[in-house]
Amino acid sequence: MKNEIKVLLVEDNPGDVYLVREMLDDIPPFPERFQQNPYFKRVSTNSK
């Protein structure tokens, strides 16, 4: 059985996203699959 960790990162600062990726790279073996959500602006606007 494969252990899988799913992480939802909601971040509007690309620099912070980079830092999170760097931290995850320090946890071997961490399969990294990042996808950018093209609807982020709509989601953040609707949540106000």
Interval 1-19: pLDDT, tens: 466 677 778 887 888 888 9
Is 45 within the bounds of a domain? no
Is 3 within the bounds of a domain? no
For residue 30, give the amino acid letter: F
pLDDT of residue 1: 46
List, as one string, the DSSP characters of 7-35. -----S-HHHHHHHHHHHHTSSS------
Is 24 within the bounds of a domain? yes
Name the domain count of the chain: 1
Secondary structure of residue 41 in the 3-state scheme: helix
Is 28 within the bounds of a domain? yes
Is 23 within the bounds of a domain? yes
CB burial of residue 8 (10 Å; 0-12, 13-18, 19+): exposed
Is 40 within the bounds of a domain? no
Please state the pTM of the whole predicted model: 0.53
Is 47 within the bounds of a domain? no
Which residues constitute the domain of residue 27? 9-34
